[in-house]
Amino acid sequence: MTWWGAAMIVFGVAGMGAAVALGAQPRDGDAWRAIAPFFKAPAKFAGDVGGYRSPLVFDDGRPVKTPADWQKRREEILGYWHKVMGPWPPLVAKPSIECLETTRRETFTQKKVRLPIAPGLPWEGYLLVPDGAGPFPAALVVYYDAETGAGLKRGKETRAFGYGLTKRGFVSLSIGWPRAYTDGGGAEVQPLSRLAYVAANCYEALATLAEVDPKRIGVVGHSFGGKWAMFAAALYEKFACVAASDPGIVFDEKRPNVNYWEPWYIGFEAGRKRKAGIPTDANPRTGAYKRIIEDGRDLHELHALIAPRPFLVSGGAEDQPERWIPLGHAIAVNRLLGHRNRVAMTSRKGHGPTPESNEVLYRFFEHFLKHRKAEEP
C-alpha cells in the first residue's frame, strides 16, 4: 500500500472505510497504527533535502559524524539563534501555579490559574486535570487566547487541543499571547523568542504539579500558536515532544501567512517600521529576520534542534507535502542519533485543523507521552 493510500484509510475517506474510529480510546498499538503512515514522506519527496544547508555540517565546514559531534553542532546552532534573536533572561526562580477558580466539567476538573511567565509577570490560563490517579502526561497549549485551547470558545472546537487531550488523560495548560510583554521588550529579544521563553517558564510551572510527570510534557499550537510551539520545543529541550499545526515550518516569502518577517515574530528592529506584508525592495526585511536570511539560514535548523524528540507537523494550507523536503534534515539528524519515526507530517487542504487531523495529533501525543514509558528514548 502506498503512503497516501494508508493515510487515506486513517483519515477515513468516503468509500475506503476507517481503520480507527474518531475519538476512540486506543491502546498503544492502536495509537501507533493510526499515526505510523505519517512518518514516511511521499515517494515524490523521499530523500530530497532541497537547497537547505545541512545541519550536519559545522559552520567551519567540518562534517558531523557522530552523536558526540552532533551535541557540539547543536550547541553551535542554538548559540547562533540565541545570538541573533537575543539571549534569554534567567527563567523564573521559583515557578508555581495559583488556582483562582475551580469548575467541574465532564470527566475532568477545570481550574482558572495564575502563573509567572517571566520574573514579576503573572499570567492567567486554564489548567484541565483528568479524573484518576496521576502523575499524568501533560501538554502546554499556546494560542492567541487561553479559552480556545481549553474548549471554552464556541466555533473553535477543532483548536481546543487542551480540552481534547485532557479528555484522553492528559493534564493541559492553555495560555494566551502576552503581547504587551513580547512587543514591549525591545530589540534585545525578538518577540517569538520571548514567547518560547514564556513557554519554558510554563513548562517549569507545570513540572511542579504532583499531577504531572515532568518527563512527559509536550507543547502544541495552531498557526501563530504553531510557530510559538515549534520555537518553544527547539529552544527549550525539556519539552518531550511538539505538534505544530500549519505554522509555516520554514521561511516562505511567497506566502503572506508564513510571516516570520513581521515585527511581532522575528522582524522587530528598534527605530524602524515596515508595512505588514511580504518583503519587497520598497518594504524590505528588518530585524533578526533580515540577518538570518542574509546568513543563509532557515528554520530547518530549529527542526534539527528538536531531535530526537518527536515532532509532528499537522500541515494545512501553509504546510503542504513539499515541506517534507526541509523535514528531511531533521530525519537525517535523528538517523545519526539512532532514531527512526521521530518526524511526522499530515496534510489537509485548509488552514484550520479538522477532526481527522486532530485525531492523528492526539494519537501522536498518546503514543509518545501516554503509552510509552517515560524513560524510553
Of 36-45, 253-262, 355-364, 366-375, give the lowest mean pLDDT range.
366-375
Q: For residue 154, is pLDDT > 70? A: yes
Q: Given the C-alpha cell 475551580, which residue does it identify?
A: 102
Can you tell me whether residue 231 is helix, strand or coil? helix
Percentage above 70 pLDDT, the chain: 90
Q: Mention every residue, 6+ apart, whose C-beta is less than 8 A from residue 305.
A: 74, 77, 78, 234, 235
Cell numbers at residue 220, please?
Answer: 502544541
Nearest to 211, CA basis, from 127, 106, 150: 127
Q: What's the pLDDT band for 30 if we cut at 50, 70, 90? A: confident
Domain ranges of the chain: 3-371
Nearest to 202, CA basis, from 134, 287, 127, 296: 127
Residue 59 burial (CB count, 10 A): 12
Q: What's the pLDDT band for 185 if we cut at 50, 70, 90? A: low
Nearest to 187, CA basis, from 274, 109, 307, 288: 288
**CATH-assigned architecture of domain 3-371:** 3-Layer(aba) Sandwich (3.40)
Cell numbers at residue 275, please?
Answer: 508595512
Cell numbers at residue 223, please?
Answer: 498557526
Q: Beta strands of 135-252 (E only): which ranges?
A: 136-142, 171-175, 212-222, 242-245
E strand or H helix at 99:
strand 98-105
Residue 302: predicted pLDDT: 98
**One-letter identity of residue 334:** N
Q: What's the pLDDT band for 6 if we cut at 50, 70, 90? A: very low
Global pTM value: 0.92
CA distance 349 to 126: 31
258-278 pLDDT, tens digit each: 999 999 999 999 989 899 999
Residue 27: predicted pLDDT: 56
E strand or H helix at 312:
strand 311-315
CA distance 247 to 312: 12
Of 12-26, 85-99, 253-267, give the lowest mean pLDDT range.
12-26
